[in-house]
Amino acid sequence: MLNVALPKGRLGERVYAMFEAAGYPCPSIKENNRKLIFENPECGVRYFWVKPSDVSIYVERGAADIGVAGKDILLEYTPDVYELLDMKTGICRMAVAAPKGFRDDTRRALRVATKFSKIAGDYYASRSREIDIIHLNGSIEIAPILGLSDVIVDIVETGTTLKENDLEVIETIVPISARLIANKASYKFKNEQIKALTAHLAGQLQAED
Ligand code: PRP
């Protein structure tokens, strides 16, 4: 049995549909209840829904053999896992955004509000720009409006959230998409199964192209 951690929510539903199309269905997953674990012994898979930012924890520690996590999470938490496949979904970008007309005053540290402290820290370190990180857990967009920060580092998908809060992208840091990841020991001991599943998913992605 392959244990598969899927990110709960819209992305997870899209990802499950990809696993289903690749030959790993689990019909009971569509029953509308609050169960979090579903298995289909015939296909040798057991799915479980976890918080998107927790997928890599389950996979790194071997509670899941494989999982699907955003590249943002992989860059932020650098889990010790294998990255097997770009799932070409959940596509967005990590960006710096600021209120319209923002000018950087390089005489002082730039105040950066973000959920992604490591990504932001690495980015500004690479540019030798001194920053003051303000770590928040959500609603990042309001930080510059209320004067808590100068800029934000956050995920931008459609750009609607920024627009509706009078912010704009000033720099793109890195493109983001969902990735298939594997536990390192599982990759060794369940190699055939994991390779087959990866190949089926890759084939499915190509067919959709
Ligand atoms: C992300 C991000 C932005 C929003 C961007 O939040 O933090 O708020 O999506 O999307 P848009 O460009 O299409 O408007 P998410 O919905 O992932 O939830 P979060 O508040 O938990 O970060």
Q: Best substitution site from 89, 153, 155 to test ligand 1's pocket, by max atoms within 8 Å of Cβ?
A: 155
How far is Cα 94 from Cα 116, in angstroms, rounded to an integer?
A: 9
For ligand 1, atom 15, name the residue with the nearest CA: 155
pLDDT (0 to 100) of residue 192: 97
pLDDT of amino acid 3: 98
Q: Are the CB atoms for 65 and 183 separated by under 8 Å? A: yes
| Contact indicator for 194, 186 with CB cutoff of 8 Å | yes
Find, among 199, 208, 207, 206, the residue nearest to 24 by Cα.
199
Structure tokens given for 174: 């890195």
For atom 21 of ligand 1, the residue with the nearest CA is 138
Summarised one tens digit per residue, pLDDT across range 120-133 is 999 999 999 999 99
**CA distances, 198 to each of 22, 68, 102, 108, 186 (Å):** 9, 12, 45, 48, 14
Residue 43: the pLDDT is: 93
- Ligand 1 centroid, distance to 115 Cα (angstroms): 11
Is ligand 1 within 6 A of the CB of residue 10?
no
Q: Tell whether ligand 1 has an atom less than 6 A from the beta carbon of residue 154.
A: yes
* Cα(107) to centroid(ligand 1), Å: 31
Tokens of 25: 């269905």
Mean pLDDT, 10 residues at a time, the chain of 209 residues = 96 96 93 86 96 97 98 98 98 97 95 98 97 97 97 97 96 98 98 98 90
137 lines ligand 1 (CB under 6 A): no
Please count the other Cβ atoms lying within 10 Å of the Cβ belonging to residue 204: 17
- Ligand 1 contacts CB of residue 53 (under 6 A): no
Instruction: Give the pLDDT of residue 1.
Output: 93
**Cα separations in angstroms, 34 against 7, 121, 179, 180:** 15, 38, 26, 25
